[in-house]
Structure 1
Amino acid sequence: MQVPAFYFDGKTSRRHLVTLHVEDGVASISGDVERACPIMQLRVSERLHRAARKVTYPDGAYLEIQDNAAFAALLHATSHRDSLVVRMQQNWRATLAAAAVLIAVLVLSYAYLLPAAADLVAKSLPPSVEQRIGAGALEFLDNHILSPTQLPAAQRQAIKTRFRALTAEVEGVPHYEIVFRKSRIGPNALALPSGQIVLTDEIVKLLDDDNAVMGVLAHELGHVHRRHLMRRLIQSSAIGAAATALFGDISAVIANIPTVLLDMKYSRDVEREADDYAIALFKANGISRQKLAYVFEKLGEKEAASADIPPYLSSHPASAERVERILNAQ
């Protein structure tokens, strides 16, 4: 069986008209060029619907087949089989099945593998990394969102002293620092990876209750303790890095870190972990959990009375179920 083809030497663009045939495991061409090569050393391109198939020699020379049907018959006669991947590409059922499996793997990885990996990485990071990220995030917030606090120094010191007393006898309390700021976006509190808890003037004034403010701080300390924000940052960066691997421009990932920190949305499970930490801290100090629930009740009232959702609620969503869980915790 002979198959017409064009031969290219891989060095020039000149083509040579040849005829390919196979005998005793050796592929030979005749015509403008004569050459023989064992078929085991040749690489055959995958089958496409209309494109000409190519046969590549070890030195880079190649054949461009002119009769795909005759070439297919020749391959069949030599017992050549396309790879499993190529065969699957030619089968629409296999392609759909592979796509479904890929989607399932991505979903499961996002839901389970990525959070577990982020938790492991966050726990393995040296404190210096968290300090640098926290310092950079606070600088960004100070330049764009926050301004110097206007709370009286005595009130700020009283809040710090009170919370220090609450955490003094509790084991495993992470390093933290309470940072006061005035916010341009309303009541808010934010725990940075460095352990800095940003408490805004607006949320202190809105709550107008020392124990409720302690509840906000205890909740945010729970986020610090479980490295929630660092874990979410790692997850978001991992997703961004994966997108970058596909689409390029790594600078976009780096530039978006401050925005990710600011617009962090916590999952229900993460919020429960932080709530549980605050509940345990209140219980250890004999403070009614009603004051912790009051934080979200008060913010919920503000949400109901205003068209705008309080910033603290946007990242720490309140609900009747959540308040009930806090009040009924053992």
Structure 2
Amino acid sequence: MSSTESVIYYDGVVSKPRQAEISPINQDSVLLRYGDALELKQQYLYSEMILIGALGKIKPVIELKNDARIEFKNELPDWFNIKQKDIYQSIWKLERSPSLILFSVVFVVAFGFALVKWGIPFTSHYLAFQLPENTLTKIGNEAEEYVLNNLTQPSQLSQGQKDQIKSDYLLNVAEGRPAKLVFREGDYLGANAVALPNNTIIITDELVELAHSDQEIIGVLAHEQGHLVQRHSLQQGLSSLGFSVLYIAMTGDSSDLLTSLPAAMIGANYSRKFEQEADLYALNSMYKHHIEVSHFANFLQRLNEESDKVEGKTEKNPKKDEKQMDQQKPKTLEILDALSSHPATEERIQMVRDFEAKHPQINMQKPSTKE
């Protein structure tokens, strides 16, 4: 077997590649010949070399002092005595193994799935409960300002209505941890309520008007209180940022990462798990204060029907409505579509019915109508 290997050599002075030959001198050094007739010679020690591993079809490269460089046309020869050779040779062989490639693809897919399914949600949950109160207040204040300035208008409810709702909330929902209730005309939000990390619940006039009793409003506020206690909006916002980071790692596109955390918290659609947790909190709160949970189910049904009516109007004249919506709604607010309805309304109503069946004694109190 020949002990001379044909290589490409860069002398570090000019960028022109030179055809060259490399051969061993002893266990510690090699001789490099280059030039038109290979008349030029250069000796290099292995200790002065840095091996750059091959990737794909790229062949091994040796970095030398003074910016010189040797590029091999094939794999490193057996006599080439650089220390890292055996490790890199093994990696190159594995890299070209179909079974390893298949395993790597399966592993990456499984790892990505696990990261999205459990990793990011778990990390978001942990961080949400580790952040100090002043951080929550700052983030929540930014989100609240965003809602007040961009998504809603001043409330048209009478002061008597507001006072009654606040009184009912403090009596039946607050549990010693009262949130700040902010009343606003819905505008982009419509009939809705939003819980923010600065211990604030924003409730819209449209939602109050949609309710048929005080108990229905209490149910909604208890649901939002559950979101506050579990810090769902912050968890969802952190998850959104986590997914953005994962997307950037996969694509290198960081343009969507500029979306602020407050906007992510407001616009993020709560997961089914979060909705179930908040619903259960509301049901237990209503049960504790002897309020029929059927009021909550009735309101969910009515909210769902109201959403269907809005969608029906859009279907009748889609071109006109879509054009009007595009003109009225800024693109940065498109994420807020998720706020219009909660997922799996029928399942949520069934959850209420199941809870009601397990606690029949809560049906003893009669509902009072809303003023």
TM-score range normalised by the length of the shorter chain: 0.7 to 0.9
Alignment-derived partner of residue 282 in structure 1: 286
Which of 247, 250, 257 aligns to 2:252? It is: 247
The residue type paired with residue 23 of structure 2 is: H
Alignment-derived partner of residue 329 in structure 2: none
CA deviation string 1:111-132 (max 9, x = no partner): 1121111111111111111111
Could you list the runs of 5+ residues in structure 2 that have no partner in the other structure?
Answer: 315-335, 359-371
| 1:93 positional shift | 3.0
Question: Which structure 2 residues correspond to residues 54-133 of structure 1 after superposition, within 5 A?
Answer: 54-65=61-72, 68=73, 71-72=74-75, 75-78=77-80, 80-81=85-86, 82-133=88-139
Alignment-derived partner of residue 180 in structure 1: 183
Partner SS state of residue 163, structure 1: helix
Partner SS state of residue 157, structure 2: coil
2:163 and 2:80 map into 1 onto residues whose CA distance is 86
Aligned CA-pair RMSD: 2.8
CA deviation string 1:249-295 (max 9, x = no partner): 47x43434344233221122111110111111111101011111112
When residues 208 and 5 of structure 1 are mapped into structure 2, their CA distance, relative to the original with a 3 A threshold, is same
| 1:207 positional shift | 1.2
Q: TM-score under structure 1 normalisation?
A: 0.86
1:110 and 1:52 map into 2 onto residues whose CA distance is 36
CA deviation string 1:155-175 (max 9, x = no partner): 00110011101136x4xx545
Q: Is 1:157 the counterpart of 2:148 in the alignment?
A: no
When residues 109 and 203 of structure 1 are mapped into structure 2, their CA distance, relative to the original with a 3 A threshold, is same
When residues 256 and 313 of structure 1 are mapped into structure 2, their CA distance, relative to the original with a 3 A threshold, is closer
Which of 42, 50, 68 aligns to 2:49? It is: 42
Identity %: 24
CA contact (8 A) 1:188 1:312 kept: no
When residues 200 and 265 of structure 1 are mapped into structure 2, their CA distance, relative to the original with a 3 A threshold, is same
Greater shift, 306-315 or 90-99, is seen at 306-315
Aligned residues: 321
Alignment-derived partner of residue 348 in structure 2: 322
Alignment-derived partner of residue 28 in structure 1: 31
CA contact (8 A) 2:157 2:205 kept: yes
| 1:316 positional shift | 1.9
1:176 and 1:234 map into 2 onto residues whose CA distance is 22
CA deviation string 1:146-188 (max 9, x = no partner): 00000001100110011101136x4xx5451111000113211
Which of 257, 281, 285 aligns to 2:261? It is: 257
| 1:312 positional shift | 8.0
CA deviation string 1:198-219 (max 9, x = no partner): 1000011011311000100000
When residues 49 and 284 of structure 1 are mapped into structure 2, their CA distance, relative to the original with a 3 A threshold, is closer
Alignment-derived partner of residue 196 in structure 1: 200
The residue type paired with residue 252 of structure 2 is: F
Which of 137, 140, 147 aligns to 1:141? It is: 147
1:108 and 1:52 map into 2 onto residues whose CA distance is 35
